[in-house]
Structure 1
Amino acid sequence: MTTSEIATVLAWHDALNAADIDTLLTLSSDDIEIGDAHGAVQGHAALREWAQALDVRIEPGRMYVRDGVVVVEQQTVSVTGETGAQASAFRVVRDHVTSVYRHHDLAAALAATELSEADLTG
């Protein structure tokens, strides 16, 4: 586990929630891949479009880290105040997010990345 990977993912969340697209792009590789169960898109233009269309705040919770992969348990809060839970799996290379995949829950994200409770950060 490296503090750098965790810091990058936390800063990425901060920029996303603040709608600070410039910082979000700076924290992301040029060919970042953003995906979920319905498919994936790639690149800064796709990230910008996705982030600008997002109508929820995504608050990070527990984090699991191994070999550049960070799984984050997340709480979502919509503009109407509705809450939900999800998890995302990030790949971080040299302090840049190279991919982020959203999963419907923590168990799915951990299974997809082969991380486990042993990878939970303190």
Structure 2
Amino acid sequence: MATVLAWHDALNARDLGTLVELSSDDIEIGDAHGAAQGHAALQDWARGLDVQVEPGRIYVHDGVVVVEQQITSVTGETGTGASAFRVVHDKVTSVFRHPDLATALAATDLDEDDLTG
């Protein structure tokens, strides 16, 4: 969970060095529109973001971390979403963005029993 929180901090700060450090060499980044793999793809994706992503409720089970997120665009518009992370040896190996928490939990087979804190 700490790795995923640090990953969010690095993403919001656009600290690409730390983001890469927290991610495996073959990290996969995806959403409903497709996926990309590797540090170069991660950096391109992070550079292209025009939002801040604040973590909310966090669900954890066997290296899978689902984070409910509050998303704020540069224009001030807000929304919610969720991302599912796979963490192995303190490195994010994949992150998949979902439109909402229910979809992310269903995709990962996590549920309310996996809610932290």
TM bucket (normalised to shorter chain) is: over 0.9
Instruction: Tell me, in whole angstroms, the C-alpha distance in 1 between the residues paired with 2:77 and 2:34.
Output: 25
Corresponding residue number in structure 1 for 2:31: 36
Q: CA shift at 1:36, angstroms? A: 0.3
| Pairing of 1:62-81 with structure 2 (within 5 A) | 62-81=57-76
Instruction: Tell me, in whole angstroms, the C-alpha distance in 1 between the residues paired with 2:33 and 2:73.
Output: 21
Instruction: Give secondary structure in 2 for the equivalent of 1:12.
Output: helix
Instruction: Give secondary structure in 2 for the equivalent of 1:77.
Output: strand
Q: CA shift at 1:39, angstroms? A: 1.0
Note if 1:58 corresponds to 2:53.
yes
Q: CA shift at 1:59, angstroms? A: 0.3
Q: CA shift at 1:92, angstroms? A: 0.2
Corresponding residue number in structure 2 for 1:112: 107
Query: What one-letter code is carried by the residue in structure 2 that aligns with 1:16?
Result: L
Instruction: Tell me, in whole angstroms, the C-alpha distance in 1 between the residues paired with 2:74 and 2:33.
Output: 23
Query: What one-letter code is carried by the residue in structure 2 that aligns with 1:116?
Result: D
Instruction: Give secondary structure in 2 for the equivalent of 1:25.
Output: helix
Corresponding residue number in structure 1 for 2:94: 99
Once superposed, which parts of structure 1, at least 4 consecutive aligned residues long, lie more than 3 Å away? none
- TM-score when normalising by structure 2: 0.99
Corresponding residue number in structure 2 for 1:16: 11
- TM-score when normalising by structure 1: 0.95
Q: CA shift at 1:74, angstroms? A: 0.1
User: Residues 20-62 of structure 1: CA distance to partner in whole angstroms, max 9, x if unpaired?
Assistant: 0000000000000000011110000000000000000000000
Q: How many residues align?
A: 117
Query: What one-letter code is carried by the residue in structure 1 that aligns with 2:70?
Result: Q
- Unpaired runs of 5+ residues, structure 1, are 1-5
Instruction: Tell me, in whole angstroms, the C-alpha distance in 1 between the residues paired with 2:33 and 2:72.
Output: 21
Q: CA shift at 1:80, angstroms? A: 0.5
Q: State, as a whole percentage, how many aligned pairs show the same letter.
A: 77
How large is the RMSD of aligned CA atoms in angstroms?
0.3
